[in-house]
Chains A and B, each alone.
Chain A
Amino acid sequence: MTTTLSGERSAGVASGLLGLASAYLLGHTLASFSLDPVRSYSLALFGVLLFRVVLDRTEDLWWLRVRSRHRYQWGQELDSFIATGGSGDIVSLEGAVEHLVNGVGLEAARVAAGVSFLGLGVLCFNGGWLTLLVFLGVMGCSVPFYIRAGRRSERASADFDERHRVLGQQQLDILRATPDLRASGGLDFAVTTIVAVSESEHRLVRQTLRETIGSSLTTEFLGGVGVGLAAMVVGFGVLDRSRSLSDALVTLFVTVEIVTRLRRYATDFHRRSDAARATALLAVLDPAPANAADTITGAFRVRDLLTQGMVTPLSFDLARGQSLSVYGASGSGKSSLVDVLLGLRAPLSGSVSRAHLATGLIRPTASFFRASVRENLGLGTASDVDILATLEALGLGRSRYAELDVVLSDDGSQMSSGERVRLALARALLAGVEVLVFDDVAMLLDDESRHLVAESVTNRDLTLIEVTQGARIVVTPDFLVPLGEI
């Protein structure tokens, strides 16, 4: 981020200086042209005017590009964050990226506004001390207004957002209750409610807006008056021949330039806080410091582990190729135990060390992508023959999933839970896992398929962990551990 900030600052300096220079040149060329309208002056004036337009447009395009690049980079970071198992409110993270991207260029605008104050020197040199004094006086008066307007608009926009959110929520409540409202004959009432609520909100917001616009317009007003007064002072100077036309025009355009730069920053000022909030929100995307690699010889080493719902601490060592079965009633903390063992959740107390082996987690809620069976199970590496053989071994050889081009629905709504479990297992086996963890899935399988599943996992050299309420896939585990109040 720091390199971007310094880049933005240099861009701001360049844009501020170029703006001042073009204002200066515009004053001179316009004066020469109007005193002696010959073609060469007209060409010069054309050049300067075009240069100003090109400068504006180039800046726009440049920022468009920078924003695109930022959006792209943040999009990539968000994607890798998600792909590596990061969780969070993805929708609000996406919103934060947008806010951050929109905040790009604010620093440049700030710096450019600062740089434009160099124009005060030009003002003094070309416009005389009186112009400078008048302008500084007006600007000095407006500084407190600028600050107040900035604060107010920041506060008002937060306030507005909040009200808008509440109103939107109320509206959504109504939309979500629509069938009930309709059944009770209350739709007309709902519409009346919306109108009444919106209108009372409108009155409040209008009040806030009146204040905000009022104070931000005070600054615009003072800017206008500053330009007008400067024009008047140099104008009278020109009339009584104490000042040349080119000095007068230069003074005028430089004044306009300073005011424009200031106003440009002031109107975007409130986006600063949005961008700051977004930065804080996106801090989660920074990769967490990697844990020191566990150097254990076995597969799992668990010491005095307590998780949600467990009553007695659990300790065990599981070597590679061994199997463990944990049984307990519902609510005894089985699923949390699985999460903690696999590092998806922190334990309440105790420690878990795990060799980093490819692990297949088989639970009833296994997720698939909206893609073909081939992509979902083969993961781009397994051959069709292997996929079909694995499906056959799990008793899915004659199911519709043996058609490898069939597209799975992402929410699995058309899949029975038994099929889902077996597909997840097929995916894990094809990925060549060394550890398999079954989270209470045995009861979802009928006897025949449970037998097939047991056969295909026990005749490989796999480390197996199963938590269950009763029925087991791993029929003869090396260790059998009870959970719960025993």
Chain B
Amino acid sequence: MPTSPLRTWLRRSAPTSDVSLRALGAATAAQIAGTILSIGAPLVLIVSAAHQRDSHPFSAVAGLLILIELVAFLRAPLRFSERLSGHDIGFAAIVHWRSWLTATIGRWSYDRWSRASRGDLLERALGDVDSLQDLWLRAIIPFVATVLTSLLSLILLCVVAARDASTPLVALAIVLLETAVVARLFLAARGSLPLARRSNLARVARSVRRLEVTAAASEFSLLGRSDVAHAFLQAAGDRDEALRCASDRRTRHRTLLLLLATAGILGLGLHLATHWSSSPGASVSYSGVVLLVALLAVDLYATTAQSLDIAVRLTLTTERLDELAERDEDSPGVSAWPAGPVTLSFDDVVVPPGQRIALVGPSGSGKSTLLRQLANLEAARDFSVMINDHDLRDIAESEIRQHVGFVAAIPQYLRGAAVDVLGLGRGPRIDVTKVAEELGIPLPASTRWLQRSRGEDQRAALLRALWTAPEILLLDEPTSGLGTHETPQLLQVLEETAATCIIATHDPSVVSWCDVVYDLASGQIISR
């Protein structure tokens, strides 16, 4: 059943071999111990009944009974080890894939990110990434453990019945029957994929429609037409329900298939047991082993079906994750940042080193977009941004971030120690304490980052941008939350950096501080 996305993800999410081997080993051993307990115990009882009269095997049978007791003791620790290694695998997967998700979304353009963050796409992506741990934990390992146990039982059959010439043939027949059933299950799971996809879409559509109707329901109720809202919900609900019924029907069919297969293997097993027991020189252990093989086959079918259910669910997950991972940019830049003072130019505008330029214009005229394009967070469509004579897109991401500082209109922060939240693991190339004091946000090293006022947030964002002493600073409304005596403080700090500043602003005091004003509405540059 694994279609290509699942197979790719299976490879990608393979846990380190020692952990997976440990989990697999423990799972198989626990499975074998469980089988010995549930089948070995009645078998030993039967053997004891057969040897009631001879005194010699008495000790052997008693030994077997004690062995079973030991197995009963052993099974629990084995399961314990299996589950604990399973959780290790799960957590390794979570850590790995969450990091992957962060890096993947980090490559998105601002545009794509903002579309995704409006809905609940980010939440769903996180849920999808977390469910990847089930791939090995709940699908692969149980399946492989059961297959191994079944194979072992077949080997046992060949060993015990070695004297009978037909044993290899019988074993072969059983293997073929089991393979056929497992293959049928695989095919059925693959066939159920389109239905699962549609069913998933219908479920999401129903939730979305419920949210939609929640917003409008009170208006309809006042109109006296709740029936319309109800009918609208009903349409989505019926579709969802119909698809659910269809998948329930599939489950029922599969159960029927499993029952038939079970009846087949049990019948075959019992037939062989009868046949062997009545043949000369046969022992009760033949029939016991045959029974063991048959019961393990039943187990194999059930486990395969469960693993496949999970695989189908995860195929949908990996398909969604593949969509997330689609690149929306061409190859990332690799060049280094040009040495020495830089001139920034875009779309007829040339900004010599150290110049301060104010972007003005009514809201919606594209100031924030232009700033993001200059920071290479969003692709510029109509022009290219040049640093000296290098295209910005050709410069490596890490170089750009070191040399271009960016302050968003509404800065976002993580949680944790203030130094980490602002420093983000970068070595400071400015005197942080001094600049922080000049900005009026003293920062003792041990303080935790707490919710601050809008003005403090904005000054902290400037400090975060100045951290690596960038040559170019892009600021989006940096003074909109500031009071009258805080704005000059901020401008003073900017003055000291001698960086090229491009500031989107409505604030007259900032506009008058700048050397040049660029009006986006008219496309005019006004020198002062």
A binding-site residues for B, Cβ under 8 Å: 30-31, 33-35, 37-39, 42, 45-46, 49-50, 53-54, 57, 60-61, 64-65, 68, 71-72, 75-76, 78-80, 82-87, 90-91, 94, 168, 170-195, 198-199, 202, 205-206, 209-210, 213-214, 217-218, 220-221, 224-225, 227-229, 231-232, 234-236, 238-239, 241, 245, 248-249, 252-253, 256, 342, 344, 357-361, 366-371, 379-380, 410, 424, 427-428, 431, 433
Contacts and interface: CB of A to CB of B under 8 A. Distances in A.
A71 B117 CA distance: 30
Interface in B104-132: 105-106, 108, 110, 113-114, 117, 122-123, 125-126, 130
Contact of A181 (B87, B106, B225): B106
Interface in B229-274: 229-234, 237, 240-241, 244-245, 248, 251-252, 255, 258-259, 262-263, 266-267, 270-271, 273-274
A76 B237 contact: yes
A466 B158 CA distance: 90
B45 A94 contact: no
B479 to A, nearest CB: 18
A60 B210 CA distance: 31
Contacts of A232: 65-66, 68-69
Contact of A252 (B41, B106, B245, B375): B41
B117 A379 contact: no
A34 B46 contact: yes
B332 interface: no
Contact of B122 (A94, A175, A194, A369): A175
B1 interface: no
A181 B105 CA distance: 11
B138 interface: no
A190 B79 CA distance: 36
Given A60-B255, A94-B210, A176 B412 contact: yes
24 contacts: A34-B50, A37-B287, A60-B255, A61-B255, A79-B210, A94-B207, A174-B414, A175-B117, A178-B113, A179-B113, A179-B408, A185-B424, A189-B426, A193-B414, A194-B95, A213-B80, A220-B75, A224-B75, A229-B72, A231-B65, A248-B49, A358-B224, A367-B219, A369-B212
B22 to A, nearest CB: 14
Contacts of B420: 189, 193
Contact of B245 (A39, A68, A359, A369): A68
A236 B287 CA distance: 22
A192 B227 CA distance: 53
B526 interface: no
Interface centre among B105, B110, B241, B377 (most CB of A within 10 A): B105
Q: Which 4 A-B pairs have the closest CB atoms?
A: A185-B401, A186-B424, A228-B72, A177-B412
Interface in B388-423: 398, 401-402, 405-406, 408, 411-416, 420
Contact of B41 (A184, A228, A369): A228
Contacts of B274: 37-39, 42
B68 A228 contact: yes
Contacts of B221: 84-85
Interface residues of B, number: 124
B451 interface: no
Contacts, number: 334
Contacts of B225: 358, 379, 431
Nearest to A177: B412
B402 A182 contact: no
Given A35-B49, A64-B248, A213-B83, 17 more contacts: A33-B287, A42-B270, A68-B248, A186-B424, A187-B102, A193-B414, A193-B416, A198-B95, A213-B84, A221-B75, A225-B73, A227-B37, A231-B69, A232-B66, A232-B68, A370-B212, A431-B224
A90 B209 CA distance: 11
B425 interface: yes
A84 B226 contact: yes
B218 interface: yes
Contacts of B426: 185-186, 189
Contacts of A175: 101-102, 105, 117, 122, 125-126
B95 A85 contact: no
Contact of A342 (B62, B222, B229, B232): B222
Contacts of B509: none
B365 interface: no
B267 A369 contact: no
A263 B77 CA distance: 16
B176 interface: no
A229 B398 CA distance: 67
Secondary structure dominating the interface of A: helix
B406 A183 contact: yes
Given A82-B233, A194-B95, A369-B212, A170 B415 contact: yes
B255 A194 contact: no
A213 B225 CA distance: 54
B298 A53 contact: yes
A290 to B, nearest CB: 14
Contacts of A224: 37, 71-73, 75-76
A81 to B, nearest CB: 9
A235 B79 contact: no
B76 A217 contact: yes
A344 B218 CA distance: 8
Contacts of B212: 367, 369-370, 410
A327 B208 CA distance: 37
A366 B220 CA distance: 11
A209 B88 CA distance: 11
B24 to A, nearest CB: 18
Contacts of A227: 37, 41, 72
B94 A198 contact: yes
B401 A79 contact: no
Contact of A82 (B130, B214, B255, B465): B214
B228 A379 contact: yes
Interface centre among B214, B255, B262, B284 (most CB of A within 10 A): B214
Contacts of B125: 175
Contacts of A228: 37, 41, 68-69, 71-73
A357 B105 CA distance: 52
A176 B117 contact: yes
Interface centre among A90, A176, A188 (most CB of B within 10 A): A188
B115 to A, nearest CB: 12
